[in-house]
Amino acid sequence: MNTTARPATVFDIQRIRADFPLLSRTVHGKPLVYFDNANTSQKPLPVIEAMNEHYREHNANVSRAVHQLGEEATAAYEGARDKLARFINAPSRNELVLTSGTTQATNLVAYSYALPRLQPGDAILTTVMEHHANIVPWQLVAQRSGATVKAAPIDQRGELILEQYIAMLTPEVKLACVTQVSNVLGTVNPVREIARECRKRGIALLVDGSQAVPHRPVDVQALGCDFYALTGHKMLGPTGTGALWARREHLDAMPPFFGGGEMIREVRFDGTSFAEAPHKFEAGTPNIAGFVGLSAAIDYYQSVGFEAIHAWEQQLLAYATERLREIPGLRIIGEAAEKEPVISFLIDGTQATDLATLLDLQGVAVRSGHHCAHPLMQFFGVPSTLRASLAFYNTREEVDAFIVALLKVRKLLM
């Protein structure tokens, strides 16, 4: 991506920050520095207001009602599907299953796509750097079917070893998986190359886009994958929203995973027939207001523009990395050539959790722990890391405040 496309001066950071009310609060009497964006993003006013307005003016259930409010709620919910489809350049709105997040999306693929295909001796390929949401569902269906889960290796810089991933795409692999961006390392993976190799071999590829969609424009057709999972709450939207994009041929062949209302054509005790995709995967009342908020989140990204977002975030990433490197005994985990603004690190002689707890008292919110990536922690031989994850509404001044706070708490612990 061209990072010099737009000068940073065009990016009106103060105007953007004014849209995020939470950013101006204090924590323990200190101005908040929110660097836990990979965990969940903050929400801009248009998202909060859209949900508020939905409940104040349009609330009703979707699909079942013919009254005006029901039509308005249905139009808003289905409008979110249209917007998400355009946001990731899906060829059709009917290829987008709305879910509660990435976790529901990967589980849907596990039980509805993978499980019926898996035979003893088959395999699912994932990588060492995955979030548990892109490991555990595969293990659960592998256990039921006698298949195995293989993990492609990474190197010490935190980059996927592409040749090895490709070498592991053997005939027994029935599904390949990879994250587009690592939630711990920030590494951007070569998804297009992986997709090309999978297609050559007739293996379906699932991409976990949770940490990609908040930072870069996504085009599922250009990526060439079969499944793309995303979660709304990391991309300015409410919790409990997300989506699975899948090629139509897969959705048509997949049996429903959850049964109930909304997903049927006719229910009879001698045989129930199901609605077409995507509705056959959306049993029950969905998170209507949540998707209204997610629609507004997409509008917000588009009003700021990913070119500007990318340029600003890459500046922040470079600056924060440079400042962190000044700290004696600090080791950055994840030094891939291409990264999104996520920095995991450790400081000699300190525990990540102690640092995070003391940083909180300075108003700095960062995450410590295994980040739902146990195999990655095992690879680096550490129980946990401290992770600073940035968003386009963060500033250099916040990076400075974070470094001052880190130096202070480091001193207290040494």
Let me know the angle formed at the C-alpha of 252 by 250 and 258, rounded to the nearest 5 degrees. Answer: 95
d(CA 320, CA 399): 6
Structure tokens at 360: 């909180």
Contact stretch for ligand PMP (CB under 6 A) within 22-30, 97-105, 120-128, 340-348: 97-105
> Residue 183 interacts with ligand PMP (CB under 6 A)?
yes
The single residue among 127, 211, 314, 350 that binds ligand PMP, judged by CB under 6 A, is: 211
Site for ligand PMP in 53-92 (CB under 6 A): none
Q: Kindly state the smallest distance separating residue 209's Cβ from ligand PMP, in Å.
A: 8
Residue pair 22/32 in contact by the 8 Å Cβ criterion: yes
Q: Output 47 or 311, the one with its CB closest to ligand PMP.
A: 47
Q: State the residue for tokens 């523009």.
A: 305
> Residue 179 interacts with ligand PMP (CB under 6 A)?
yes
Q: Output 11 or 228, the one with its CB closest to ligand PMP.
A: 228
312 dihedral zone (left: phi>0; alpha: psi -120 to 50; beta): alpha
Q: Please, what's the largest Cα pairwise distance for the chain?
A: 72
Site for ligand PMP in 356-385 (CB under 6 A): 372
> Residue 101 interacts with ligand PMP (CB under 6 A)?
yes
Q: Output 279 or 387, the one with its CB closest to ligand PMP.
A: 387
What three-state secondary structure class fits 169? coil
Q: Kindly state the smallest distance separating residue 341's Cβ from ligand PMP, in Å.
A: 14
Q: Kindly state the smallest distance separating residue 64's Cβ from ligand PMP, in Å.
A: 27
Contact stretch for ligand PMP (CB under 6 A) within 99-107, 152-160, 249-257, 296-304: 99-107
* φ and ψ at residue 152, rounded to 5 degrees: -70, 140
CA dist 79 to 72, 172, 262, 302, 345, Å?
10, 40, 17, 16, 41
Contact stretch for ligand PMP (CB under 6 A) within 126-134, 266-274, 300-308, 400-408: 126-134
The secondary structure element, H or E, covering residue 317 is: helix 306-325
The neighbouring-strand residues paired with 365 are 34
Q: Could you tell me which of 341, 345, 318 has the C-alpha nearest to residue 332?
A: 345
Q: Kindly state the smallest distance separating residue 266's Cβ from ligand PMP, in Å.
A: 32
Q: Output 225 or 311, the one with its CB closest to ligand PMP.
A: 225
Q: Kindly state the smallest distance separating residue 212's Cβ from ligand PMP, in Å.
A: 9
Q: Output 74 or 180, the one with its CB closest to ligand PMP.
A: 180
Q: Kindly state the smallest distance separating residue 219's Cβ from ligand PMP, in Å.
A: 19
| Helix/strand number for the chain, H first, E second | 15, 17
Torsion of CA 222, 228, 231, 234, to 10 degrees: -40
Torsion of CA 179, 181, 187, 192, to 10 degrees: 70
Contact stretch for ligand PMP (CB under 6 A) within 72-80, 87-95, 112-120, 131-139: 131-139
The single residue among 74, 187, 189, 231 that binds ligand PMP, judged by CB under 6 A, is: 231
> Residue 210 interacts with ligand PMP (CB under 6 A)?
yes
> Residue 133 interacts with ligand PMP (CB under 6 A)?
yes
> Residue 103 interacts with ligand PMP (CB under 6 A)?
yes
The single residue among 43, 54, 81, 131 that binds ligand PMP, judged by CB under 6 A, is: 131
Which residues are part of the catalytic machinery?
372
Q: Output 134 or 295, the one with its CB closest to ligand PMP.
A: 134
d(CA 33, CA 365): 6
Residue pair 382/143 in contact by the 8 Å Cβ criterion: no
Q: Kindly state the smallest distance separating residue 385's Cβ from ligand PMP, in Å.
A: 14
Residue pair 346/48 in contact by the 8 Å Cβ criterion: no
- CA-based torsion, 115, 119, 125, 126: positive or negative: positive
Q: Output 41 or 210, the one with its CB closest to ligand PMP.
A: 210
The neighbouring-strand residues paired with 204 are 175
Q: Which residues bind ligand PMP (CB under 6 A)?
A: 101-103, 131, 133-134, 179, 183, 208, 210-211, 231, 233, 372
